[in-house]
């Protein structure tokens, strides 16, 4: 008996009892739809978190000056002014892995434009900063090396600052006052949203790092708060850290026994933790959802057992006219697969629809991946095979004489 | 000879108690015979038919069907023998309720299509390989048979839409569709009125004249009279 025909026969026997078949399929539909919807929401959340983390910039390394220590008492990272912009230049020049680098100097201050004012963090950086942070300009332009050299009073503002100081006005070319000194706005950064930990990344004013030191902090020194750099790929992370450590130790004339007077951090820990958490949540929900699939599968087994009993005479007759055990087995397994397969397809449609609805109504990010659809379909078919096998096996082991006599 | 039973014994066990259903039965059936098996209930006639029909195995003795020893074949091999060599007709017709007359008649052909000729039925051979080679040919053969039995106008009717006599004729067509040398009928007229019974028996007679060996079980003397030979069973033994 060929497979196409077997499917035809299966469809016909299932359509004999439409309500019963429908209810059995419903069990699978609910199970698959729940799994699909939960996976969609979970994967959507994961993707959102990952994009938030990568919005900070890709393959980032952060170098902080080491802690100051007096008589064995440490004051915490960044309290010692050991890291300078020329350390950054040296790393950029000597390291094989570093693609771009910017020193960062930080301060804060009151911003004033006409009658409006706003307090914001001020970051001093080098011209490569937008490239490193993967941050585009919405309007205007970023400053150049020459601006850094001469510590020009120009600035690029974040979206939040632009909104608070300028509202609908175009900020480019306008003069704002930072700590009472006039700065010309030359560009506006694209909106980046909040960071993974909730900080508003757009509430920032970016100026040349030299401007922060010379003009805003009135200092002649070149020490910086941080060096921010990115490397070519995550796989080079460890070797890059090692190399930068070597370069800095050499430049700082540290004795072999001495501790580093700087710290190098990267984003992988954070990214790993957050992604892993999201993945675990998704897995947990998917497990809960698949319990309903299990219940659906038991429903299929139940109905198939009833069906085998009801059709004992038919099985006996088929055996009498030459059906082997395996023909009967195949027939009933295919019936179970048709039930679970139809349930699977409808479940995928309804699950995707539910996910889409959740996205529309609650504004959650959802992602129905081809992978989860394929997985759901394979899984539902497997449920059919698994739960259909036992009833089918019972049918195939029937004694034809007794089956024919069954009332 | 078509059938050669040699010292067939069948014993059923109900718990510890052995109940012999057939005791040392030996029987030879030549091609073209038309045999009626009679006997009171419990005389072993159904057991005998089950063994001849390869639905059951004897406890001891040998069974040769067309010179081939089928006594110790496995389930799959017996299924193949039933499919190719034996046509079954039942008292209650045993038609598939959802299938049309035509589809009911085609049923044995589907199970014939997947077999290798040696009867092992390993399932590896392609469908439509042996005997009937395509769906259309199957349909044609089933169609011809139903026409011959006077059901040409009933091809697409379901069993519930047919009279008892018509249903039994569909069942007879199903039994004949694989062109078996042997037809076994277990009280084929038991559910039919006497007029229809005689029509069916006339049909059997015609089939027998065409060369098909027929063995039928019946209670009724006038039905048994259609047969050429009578076997009377009593307590698991052949009396006549």
C-alpha–C-alpha distance, residues B18 and A291, integer Å: 50
Of A107, A108, A63, the closest CA to residue A85 belongs to A63
Residue A325 distance to chain B (closest CA, Å): 7
* pLDDT per residue as tens digits for the range B201-240: 999 999 999 999 999 999 889 999 999 999 999 999 998 7
Mean of pLDDT over chain B: 87
Residues of A in contact with B90 (CB under 8 A): 404
**Mean pLDDT value across residues A131-152:** 91
Instruction: Convert the pLDDT of each residue in A268-284 to its tens digit.
Output: 777 777 778 888 888 88
Domains and CATH numbers, chain B: 31-56+74-238 (3.40.50.300)
A404 touches chain B (CB under 8 A): yes
Look at A321 and B96 and tell me if their CB atoms are within 8 Å: no
* Average per-residue pLDDT for chain A: 88
Determine the 3-state secondary structure of A82 from DSSP. Answer: coil
Q: What is the pLDDT of residues B81-134, one digit of tens each?
A: 999 999 999 999 999 988 899 999 999 988 886 554 444 444 433 444 444 456
Q: Which of B50, B82, B94 sits opposite A322 (nearest CB)?
A: B82
pLDDT in tens, A2-26: 778 788 888 888 888 899 999 999 9
Does B113 contact A at CB distance below 8 Å? yes
Q: How far is B116 from chain A (nearest CA, A)?
A: 13
Angle at which helices A18-54 and A370-396 pack, to 10 degrees?
A: 150
Residue of B nearest to A3 (CA): B127
Whole-number pLDDT of residue A192: 83
C-beta atoms of A317 and B84 within 8 A: no
pLDDT digits 0-9 by tens, A23-55: 999 999 999 999 899 888 888 888 887 777 776
- Judge whether residue A186 has pLDDT over 90: yes
pLDDT of residue B120: 44
Mean pLDDT of A380-392: 94
Share of chain B above pLDDT 90, in %: 68
Cβ(A120)–Cβ(A108) under 8 Å? yes
- The closest CB to that of A321, out of B50, B88, B113, belongs to B88
Residue A385: predicted pLDDT: 94
Q: From chain B, pick out residues whose CB is under 8 angstroms from the CB of A406.
A: none
Residue numbers in B near A317 (CB within 8 A): 94, 96
**pLDDT 10s digits, A225-242:** 999 998 888 778 888 989
Split at pLDDT 50, 70, 90, the class of A57 is: low
Considering only CB atoms, B82 lies closest to which of A1, A320, A325, namely: A320
Interface with A, mutate which of B91, B96, B112 (most A CBs under 10 A)? B96
Between B79, B113, B174, which is nearest A319 by CB?
B79
pLDDT surpasses 90 at A82:
no
A1 and B94 within 8 Å at the Cβ level: the answer is no
What average pLDDT does this structure show over B32-42? 92
Tell me if residue B68 falls in helix, strand or coil: strand
Q: Which of residues 163-192 of B touch A (CB under 8 A)?
A: 174, 178
Nearest C-alpha neighbor of A294 from the set A1, A35, A6, A5: A35
Whether A77 has a pLDDT exceeding 70, the answer reads no
Give the pLDDT of residue A386: 94
User: For position B136, what pLDDT does the model report?
Assistant: 76
**Per the structure block, which two tokens stand in for A93?**
């020049």
Q: Exposed/middle/buried for A174, CB within 10 Å: 0-12, 13-18, 19+?
A: middle
**What residues of A are in contact with residue B98 (Cβ under 8 Å)?**
12-13, 16
Are the Cβ atoms of A322 and B88 closer than 8 angstroms? no
User: Sorting pLDDT into bands at 50, 70 and 90, what band is A247?
Assistant: very high
What local confidence, expressed as pLDDT, does residue A71 receive?
A: 56
pLDDT at B168 over 90: yes
Out of A319, A320, A322, the one facing B112 most closely (by C-beta) is A322
Residue B146: pLDDT band with limits 50, 70, 90: very high
Chain A segment 326-385 residues within 8 A of B by beta carbon are 326-327
Q: Give the mean model confidence (pLDDT) for residues B53-74.
A: 92
With contacts defined as CB-CB under 8 Å, which chain A residues touch B108? 321-322
Instruction: Enter the ipTM.
Output: 0.89
- Kindly write down the DSSP assignment for every residue of A324-355, as one continuous string: -HHHHHHHHHHHHHHHHHHHHHHHHHHHHHHH
Do residues A266 and A227 lie in contact, with contact meaning Cβ atoms separated by under 8 Å?
A: no
Residue B46 to chain A, least CA–CA distance (Å): 10
B93 CA: distance to closest CA in chain A (Å): 10
**Separation of alpha carbons B4 and B17, rounded Å:** 29
Please write the tens of the pLDDT for every residue from A297-337: 999 999 999 999 999 999 999 999 999 999 999 999 999 99
Query: What percent of chain A shows pLDDT beyond 70?
Result: 94
- Give how far the C-alpha of residue B190 lies from the chain's centroid of Cα atoms, to the nearest Å: 16
């Amino acid at each position: 008996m060929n497979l196409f025909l077997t499917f035809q026969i299966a469809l016909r026997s299932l359509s004999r009892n439409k309500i019963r078949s429908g209810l059995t399929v419903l069990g699978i539909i609910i199970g698959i739809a729940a799994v699909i919807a939960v996976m969609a929401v979970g994967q959507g959340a994961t993707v959102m978190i990952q994009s938030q983390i990568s919005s900070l910039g890709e393959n980032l390394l952060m170098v902080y000056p080491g802690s100051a220590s007096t008589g064995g008492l440490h004051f915490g990272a960044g309290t010692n002014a050991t890291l300078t912009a020329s350390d950054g230049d040296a790393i950029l020049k000597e390291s094989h892995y570093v693609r771009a680098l910017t020193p960062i100097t930080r301060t804060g201050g009151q911003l004033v434009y006409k009658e409006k004012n706003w307090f914001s963090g001020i970051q001093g950086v080098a011209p490569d900063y937008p490239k490193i942070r993967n941050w585009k300009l919405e309007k205007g332009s970023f400053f150049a090396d020459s601006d850094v050299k001469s510590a020009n009073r120009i600035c690029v503002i974040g979206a939040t600052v632009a909104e608070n100081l300028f509202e609908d006005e175009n900020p480019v070319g306008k003069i704002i006052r930072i700590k009472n000194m006039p700065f010309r706005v030359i560009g506006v950064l694209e909106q980046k949203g909040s960071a993974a930990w909730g900080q508003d990344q757009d509430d920032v004013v970016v100026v040349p790092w030299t401007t922060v030191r010379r003009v805003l902090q009135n200092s002649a020194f070149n020490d910086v708060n941080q060096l921010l750099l990115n490397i070519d790929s995550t796989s080079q992370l460890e070797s890059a850290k090692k190399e930068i450590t070597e370069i800095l130790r050499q430049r700082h004339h540290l004795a072999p026994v001495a501790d580093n007077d700087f710290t190098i951090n990267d984003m992988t820990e954070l990214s790993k933790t957050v992604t892993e958490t999201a993945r675990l949540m998704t897995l947990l929900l998917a497990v809960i959802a698949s319990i309903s699939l299990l219940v659906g599968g038991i429903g299929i087994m139940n109905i198939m057992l009833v069906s085998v009993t009801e059709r004992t005479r038919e099985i006996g007759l088929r055996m009498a006219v030459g059906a082997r055990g395996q023909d009967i087995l195949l027939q009933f397994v295919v019936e179970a697969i048709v039930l679970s397969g139809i349930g699977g397809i409808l479940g995928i449609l309804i699950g995707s629809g539910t996910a889409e609805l959740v996205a529309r109504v609650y504004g959650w990010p959802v992602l129905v991946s081809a992978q989860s659809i394929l997985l759901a379909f394979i899984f539902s078919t497997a449920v059919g095979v698994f739960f259909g096998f036992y009833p089918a096996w019972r049918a195939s082991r029937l004694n034809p004489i007794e089956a024919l006599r069954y009332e | 000879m078509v059938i050669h039973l040699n010292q067939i014994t069948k014993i059923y066990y109900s718990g510890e108690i052995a109940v012999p259903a057939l005791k040392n039965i030996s029987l030879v059936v030549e091609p073209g015979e038309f045999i009626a098996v009679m006997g009171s209930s419990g005389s072993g006639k159904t057991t005998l038919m089950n063994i001849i029909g390869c639905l059951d195995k004897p406890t001891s003795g040998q069974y040769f069907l067309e010179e081939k020893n089928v006594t110790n074949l496995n389930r799959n091999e017996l299924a193949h023998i039933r499919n190719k060599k034996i046509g079954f007709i039942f008292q209650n017709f045993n038609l598939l309720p959802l299938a049309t007359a035509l589809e009911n008649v085609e049923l044995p052909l589907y199970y014939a299509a997947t077999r290798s000729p040696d009867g092992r039925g390993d399932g590896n051979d392609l469908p439509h390989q042996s005997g009937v080679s395509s769906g259309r040919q199957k349909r044609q053969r089933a169609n011809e048979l139903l026409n011959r039995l006077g059901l040409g106008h009933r091809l697409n009717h379901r069993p519930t839409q047919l009279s008892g006599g018509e249903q039994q004729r569909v069942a007879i067509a199903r039994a004949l569709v694989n062109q078996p040398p042997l037809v076994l009928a277990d009280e084929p007229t038991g559910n039919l009125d006497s007029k229809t019974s005689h029509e069916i028996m006339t049909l059997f007679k015609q089939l027998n004249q065409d060369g098909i060996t027929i063995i039928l079980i019946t209670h009724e003397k006038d039905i048994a009279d259609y047969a050429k030979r009578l076997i009377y069973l009593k307590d698991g033994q052949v009396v006549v």
